[in-house]
Chains A and B, each alone.
With several copies, the nearest count.
Chain A
Amino acid sequence: MTMIEAIREAHDVAMAADDRVVVFGEDVGFFGGVFRCTAGLQAKYGKSRCFDTPINESGIVGTAIGMAAYGLKPVIEIQFADYVYPAYDQIVSEAARLRHRSNADFTCPIVIRMPTGGGIFGGQTHSQSPEALFTHVSGLKVVVPSNPRDAKGLLLASIEDPDPVIFLEPKRLYNGPFDGYHDRPVTSWKKHPKGEVPEGNEIVPLGKASITREGSDVTVLAYGTMVYVAEAAAEATGVDAEVIDLRTLLPLDLDTITASVEKTGRCVIVHEATRTSGFGAELMCLVQESCFYHLEAPMIRVTGWDTPYPHAQEWEYFPGPARVGEALKKVMEG
C-alpha cells in the first residue's frame, strides 16, 4: 500500500482500538485531508471523532492540548509543515513542557502530523523540513518515517506514546519511493517490499534506527526521502556506504550510529533542511563526541542550502544523488 494508505490505516486501527483517539485538522473531516491521509475516518467514526477545524494552527494544537489534559488522545494534522509556525508557541511552551511543569499532574499525549520536504515544486511554503526546530525542544519526540511499513508502525507507536510526538511525513514519499532522480519514471510503493504493511496494531518502536543498506566504507545518516537518495548515491558511486535510516530523531538511536561509525570510520550526513543549525549539526556533533578517535576523515553534511526553498531551482536546492555521491567520494579521499 502507499504511505498515505498506511497512515490512514494507522489512524483506523488506533481509533477502533481506543475511543479516546480523536482526529482533526484543516480539511481532515469530510474530505479526508488534502493528501487524503484521513479519508473515510469521519464516515466510520462520526463527526465528533474526526472533524474539520477552522484554519488556525495554534488553535488546533491548543485545543488538542486541552483535550489531552482531559484524557483524550488527539492525533492532529497540520496541512503542511510550513504552516506549523503559528502553532509553535503552543507546541514549545505548552505541549512540550506540560508534564514537567505540572510534575505529571497533567500530560500531553498528542501526535502532530505534518507533510514535510520538497520534490513537488511546492516552493517555499510547501517544501520545508523544520525538524531541527523541534529537536531543540525538550519534551518533544520527533519521528520521520521513510516508507509505508514504518509510517504505519511508527504512527501507531506515536499514538500510544504518553508524550507529544511531532510526526513528519515526507510528502514526496507518499506515493512511492524517490531517490532524487527526478527525470526518471516515478515508481510506486506497490512493487516495493516496504510497501507491504502488516495488518493490525503492529508497532515500530520509537527511538530505533534501521540500517537500510549495510556497508563498510562510510556511514550515511539519513531520514525520510534522503534514505533513498543515499542508497542511490552509494549504487551510483560504488562507495560501500552503510545507510542508516534514523526513523526517530528525538530520542535518537545513538548506539546504532556509533557502532556503524566505529566500523566505517567515516560519516556523511544528509538532510533536506537548510544547513545552518539543521539536525545534521547535532548528528555530526554527537558522532564527533562519541567516535572522535575512530574518525579517519572529516565528516560531511549534504543539505538544502541556506536559502528559502526555491520554486524553479528545485533540483539545484534538493540534495540529490549527485551531491551525495560527491560527498561519499570526498569522504573516502579524506
Chain B
Amino acid sequence: MSDDFPPLSLNVPEPGCRPGDTPDFSDFEIPRAGAVKRPPVDVEPDEIREMAFSIVRVLNKDGEAVGDWAGALTPEELREGLRHMLTLRAFDARMLIAQRQGKTSFYMQHLGEEAISCAFATALQPGDMNFPTYRQAGLLIAGGYPMLTMMNQIYSNAEDPLHGRQLPIMYSSKEHGFFSISGNLGTQFVQSVGWAMASAISGDTKIATGWIGDGSTAESDFHSAMVFASTYDAPVVLNIVNNQWAISTFQGIARGGVGTFAARGHGFGIASIRVDGNDYLAVHAVAKWAAERARRGYGPTLIEHVTYRAGGHSTSDDPSAYRDKNEAAAWPLGDPIERLKKHLITIGEWSEERHKQAEAEVMDTVIATQKKAEAIGTLGDGQAPSPRDMFEGVYETMPPHLIRQRQEAGY
C-alpha cells in the first residue's frame, strides 16, 4: 500500500526576493488606514480574531489621520515624537560611524523601525517596566534617558554605568523602566511576564512590556511567555517586532505556515493585534489600548508591529549578500519619519523648513553629546573602566575565591 504514495519532500520556505531579483511585495496585504475598528479594552480575545490578520493603520497616503484609532495625540506630542525619531536616527548614524572609526566594537541600528519604540514609550506610565531587545533604544530616547549615558555605555568609558562589562547598546536603566538587555534572544520575553505577575501579586497597578523579534518568536521562551501570560492573565503587553528579517533569514522561516505572527496568540486565548509599525500614530494608539487593557486587569495583549529592517542586522552584517539592495526602498509601509512629517505638514503643524531645522538641531545635539562622551573616553583608549570592575558585582558581596582571583590578577 505504501507504494501508492509518492515520495515526500522537505518544504523549505524561501523569500520572494534574493540579491538580483526584483523586490515584490504585492502578496503583502495592506488594509487601508482607518479600516480596523478600535474595540473596547475589555473585549474578549475571540471577538477580535481578525485583528491578527489585518493591520491597524492611522495615517493614510495623503498624510491624514483617519479612523477609530486616530486622535490620541496632540500636534505638540506629535512634533515631540518626530523629534524622538529624528534623534534616534541621528544617534544611530553617528554611532555607526564611531564604530567604523574603531571607537567601539559593535553597534546595532534602528533604521526604518524608529516609530515603534518611540511611539510606544509615551503610552506607558512611570513605574512600568519594558523588557526590550537590542532594537528598542527609542524607549530610552523618548523616555528622557540621557543620551550622554547611552554613549558612555557604547564607548565602555569611565562613565559607562555598566562599567565596561556589557557589549555596546546593552543598556540597563531601572529608573527609566528599561530592563537590562540580554544578548540571548527571547529570554526577556517570559521575564516580562514574571514582572507583570509580580505586579499583580503585589496588588500594584504597574504593567510590563515584553519585546521580541520576528525571528526570535521561534525561541522557546516565546512559548513560556505565552503560556504563563495566558494562565495567570498577566498585565503585560507582548510585542513582536516583525522587521521581515532575522539576520539573513526571512520571516517565513520563523512564521511557518501561519498567516501572521500575531496569530500565535490565538492558540493561547490572548488578544492579538497587528499594527503598522511605520505609523507613529497607529503604534501609539495600539500601545495605549493594550496598556490600558493590562492595567485594568483584562490581561495580556500580543502586538505584532509590522515594519522593515532597512539597515544591516548589526555592524557585523552586510545584507547585500542575502537580499536585494532595493528591497528596503520597495517596502510598502514607507519610512516612519517621512510619514509623520507629512502628517504634521498636512494638518498644518509643520513645514519642510521646520523639519530641516529640527534635523539640524537634533544632529547638533547628538554631535555635541558625542564630543562630550569621547572626551570621557572610547573603547580601548586606555582609560577606565578598571579591570577591578570586572570582579565586582558578580555577587553583592565578593566571595573569597573571587577576592583571591582579583588579587592574583593584580587589581
Which residues of A pack against B, CB within 8 Å? 22, 26-27, 29-31, 34, 47-49, 51-56, 58-59, 62-67, 69-72, 82-83, 85-86, 89-90, 93-94, 98-107, 121-126, 138-139, 141, 162-163, 207, 250-252, 254-255, 275-276, 305-308, 310-313, 316-317
Instruction: With both chains docked as a complex, state the minimum distance between the C-beta of A231 and any C-beta of chain B, in angstroms.
Output: 23
Nearest chain B residue, comparing its CB with the CB of A67: B198
> Is B51 interfacial (CB 8 A cutoff)?
no
Give 12 new A-B contacts, CB below 8 A, not counting A59-B228, A163-B395: A55-B216, A56-B224, A59-B220, A62-B221, A101-B165, A103-B163, A106-B179, A125-B182, A162-B395, A306-B405, A308-B394, A316-B411
List residues of chain A with CB within 8 A of the CB of B390: 305, 307, 310, 313, 316-317
Contact A107 B396 (CB under 8 A): yes
Find A124's partner among B165, B179, B215, B223 (CB 8 Å cutoff): B165
The number of inter-chain residue pairs (CB within 8 angstroms) is 273
| Residue in B168, B190, B387 whose CB lies within 8 Å of A316 | B387
Judge whether A71 and B395 touch: CB under 8 Å.
no
If A105-B180, A121-B106, A163-B395 touch, whether A312 touches B228 (CB-CB below 8 Å) is: no
Give Cα A89–Cα B221 distance, bound, in whole angstroms: 10
Q: How far is the CB of B194 from chain A (nearest CB, A)?
A: 3
A21 shortest CB reach to chain B, Å: 11
In order of increasing CB-CB distance, the 9 nearest A-B pairs are A66-B194, A312-B164, A125-B183, A63-B194, A59-B224, A54-B218, A123-B167, A251-B399, A31-B248
Q: Cβ of B131 < 8 Å from any Cβ of A?
A: yes
Q: Does B356 belong to the interface (CB within 8 Å)?
A: no
* A-B contact list, 21 entries, CB within 8 Å: A26-B246, A48-B201, A55-B216, A55-B218, A62-B190, A72-B198, A85-B184, A86-B219, A94-B187, A94-B188, A94-B191, A103-B162, A105-B172, A105-B173, A105-B180, A106-B179, A107-B396, A123-B105, A305-B405, A308-B165, A311-B166
Q: List B contacts of A26 (CB < 8 A).
A: 246-247, 249
**Alpha-carbon separation in the docked complex, A29 to B208 (Å):** 25
Which of A99, A207, A276: most chain B Cβ within 10 A? A99
Tell me, yes or no, whether B385 is within 8 Å of chain A by CB.
yes
Q: Which residue of A lies closest to B248 (CB)?
A: A31
Q: Are B224 and A311 in contact (CB under 8 A)?
A: no
Given contacts A121-B105, A254-B401, A316-B390, contact A66 B165 (CB under 8 A): no
Contact in complex: B12, A47 (CB < 8 Å):
yes
Shortest A116–chain B CB gap in Å is 15
Contact of A63 among B185, B193, B246, B405 (CB under 8 A): B193
| Pair B105/A52 contact, Cβ less than 8 Å | no
> Considering the chains assembled together, what is the distance between the CA atoms of A53 and B256 in angstroms?
11
- Tell me whether A48 and B165 are in contact in the complex, defined as CB-CB below 8 angstroms, given that A83-B184, A94-B184, A313-B385 are known contacts: no
Q: Is B254 in contact with chain A by the CB < 8 A criterion?
A: yes
Residues A312 and B156 in contact, CB atoms below 8 Å apart: yes
Contact B224 A139 (CB under 8 A): no
**A139 pairs with B395, CB closer than 8 A:** yes
Interface mask (B265-309 → A, CB under 8 Å = 1, otherwise 0): 000000000000000000000000000000000000000000000
Q: Is B393 an interface residue (CB 8 A)?
A: yes
Residue B129 at the chain A interface, CB threshold 8 Å:
yes
Asked, given contacts A103-B165, A121-B105, A312-B156, whether A67 binds B195 with beta carbons under 8 Å apart, the answer is yes
Give the docked Cα–Cα distance between A243 and B246 (Å).
42
Q: Which of A30, A58, A125, A313 contacts B248 (CB 8 A)?
A: A30
Question: How many residues on chain B are close to A (CB under 8 Å)?
Answer: 88
Whether A70 and B165, one on each chain, are in contact in the complex, defined by CB atoms closer than 8 angstroms, is no
Do the beta carbons of A306 and B401 come within 8 Å of each other? yes
| Complex Cα gap A30–B322 (Å) | 7
Q: For residues 168 through 218 of chain B, which have their beta carbon under 8 Å from a beta carbon of chain A?
A: 168, 170, 172-174, 179-180, 182-188, 190-202, 208, 215-216, 218
A148 to B322, CA, bound (A): 27
A313 close to B216 (CB less than 8 A):
no
Q: Is there contact, CB below 8 Å, between B402 and A63?
A: no
Question: Across the interface, which residues of B come within 8 angstroms of A55, CB to CB?
Answer: 185-186, 215-216, 218-219, 246, 249, 254
Write the nearest CB–CB distance from B182 to chain A, whole angstroms.
6
B residues at A contact (CB < 8 Å): 9-10, 12, 14, 18, 105-106, 129, 131, 156, 160-168, 170, 172-174, 179-180, 182-188, 190-202, 208, 215-216, 218-221, 223-225, 227-228, 231, 246-249, 253-254, 256, 316-317, 321-322, 379-380, 385, 387, 389-391, 393-396, 399-402, 405-406, 409, 411
Q: Known A252-B401, A312-B164, A313-B385; judge A305-B193 contact (CB<8 A).
A: no
Inside 8 A of A31's CB, which chain B residues have their CB? 247-249, 321-322
A66-B190 CB under 8 A given contacts A123-B183, A139-B394:
yes
Contact B247 A102 (CB under 8 A): no
**Are B183 and A126 in contact, CB atoms less than 8 angstroms apart?**
yes
- Are A101 and B12 CB-contacts (below 8 A) given A27-B247, A27-B249, A66-B198? no
Compute how far the CA of A233 lies from the CA of B12 in the bound complex, rounded to whole angstroms.
Answer: 50
With contacts A72-B201, A207-B399, A308-B394 taken as known, whether A66 is within 8 angstroms of B193 at the C-beta atoms is yes
Q: How far is the CB of B146 from chain A (nearest CB, A)?
A: 15
Query: Of all chain B residues, which has the CB nearest A47?
Result: B12
Give complex CA distance A154, B343 in Å.
61
Give the residues in chain A near B248, CB-CB below 8 Å. Answer: 27, 30-31, 34, 52
- B228: chain A residues within 8 A (beta carbon): 53-54, 56, 59, 62-63
B172 touches A54 (CB 8 A): no
Q: Please give, as numbers and ranges, the residues of chain A lying within 8 Å of B191 by CB-CB distance.
A: 62-63, 65-66, 69, 94
Contact of A66 among B156, B197, B216, B317 (CB under 8 A): B197
Of A56, A72, A98, A106, which one neighbours B219 at CB under 8 angstroms? A56
Shortest B127–chain A CB gap in Å is: 11
Contact: B194 with A65, CB < 8 Å? yes
